[in-house]
Amino acid sequence: MKAHYARYGVPKVLVSDCGPQYTSTSFSQFMKHWGITHVRSSPGHQQANGKAESAVKVVKNMMKRCLIDHENQYEGLLELRNSPRQDGIIPAQVMFQREIRTLLPSLKMRNPDLTNIQKKKIEHNRKVKQQFDKKAKDMHPFQRHQTVYYQNSDKPGWNPGRITDRISDRSYDVEGETGDTYTRKRVHLRPKHTPFKSRIQVDDDVMPAVELPHSPQTDESKNSPPLLDQRSGAHSDTRKTHITRSGRVVRKPDKYTL
């Protein structure tokens, strides 16, 4: 990072995921020393890192075309960085405040008009927000120390936790039952009083199967002939029960033993 800062200058804001290399104390001190505001995106939420995801998709498609056409990938990157985007802004002009020379023949380059770049960017962001708000809705914010359920990519389902801090309007730090802290978006959080279909019930965690004790057999039962319906006897012998942690006895229905 120091090499990039020395070449292009120090940025004001750095956006990254919540990897261990970005959440350490040494990295926080590094950001503070360079005067950079560090913004962490929630893991498992592609919309939080949409710019990077879109840039990777565009570069991958360009490199695939270069591979198919047997073209130089660096020439493709050069043309990509000097091509206008959807909002009419050229990335190279924003970075270097000038047009860069490419292999395509062109007229004498003029000094670019950069006065309207910021206005174009604001207008483009406004249109994107307008389209997104058509299908979006505001969600109720959480308060500190509020108990919630959160989704974790390592553990399926909803896990109980507690809000420890609010990072932004839609990002929260959640403390799990093990004491670990996770950063989650509002879409990955639910109030704890809300019922969930995917919530793991305590009764589902059953103890090993045990057989109920049989009554002692008498001499008459030992000497009695076998029943005509052998299937009924087989069901009574093979039927097992499960006892849950709460003490509830679960008996398997007869239809599953036919």
The pLDDT value recorded for residue 239 is 55
**Is residue 240 assigned to a domain?**
yes
Mean pLDDT (the chain, rounded): 76
d(CA 115, CA 120): 10
- Asked if 91 and 77 sit in the same domain, the reply is yes
- Asked if 160 and 180 sit in the same domain, the reply is yes
- Asked if 125 and 194 sit in the same domain, the reply is no
- Asked if 106 and 227 sit in the same domain, the reply is no
Query: If we measure between CA atoms, which residue out of 24, 7, 66, 42 comes closest to residue 182?
Result: 42
d(CA 32, CA 14): 12
The pLDDT value recorded for residue 198 is 38
- Asked if 7 and 70 sit in the same domain, the reply is yes
**Is residue 141 assigned to a domain?**
no
- Asked if 71 and 174 sit in the same domain, the reply is no
**Is residue 142 assigned to a domain?**
no
Token pair for 15:
């956006």
Of the listed ranges 126-135, 138-147, 197-206, the one predicted with least confidence: 197-206
**Is residue 33 assigned to a domain?**
yes
**Is residue 246 assigned to a domain?**
yes
Q: 210 lies in which domain range?
A: 204-257
Residues across the chain: 258
| Residue 133 scores a pLDDT above 70 | yes
- DSSP code of 99? P
C-alpha distances in angstroms, 134 versus 47, 54, 169?
16, 21, 19
Quote the number of domains for the chain: 3
**Is residue 139 assigned to a domain?**
no
Tens digit of each residue's pLDDT (9 = 90 or more) over 188-226 = 888 887 543 434 444 444 444 545 455 455 544 455 544
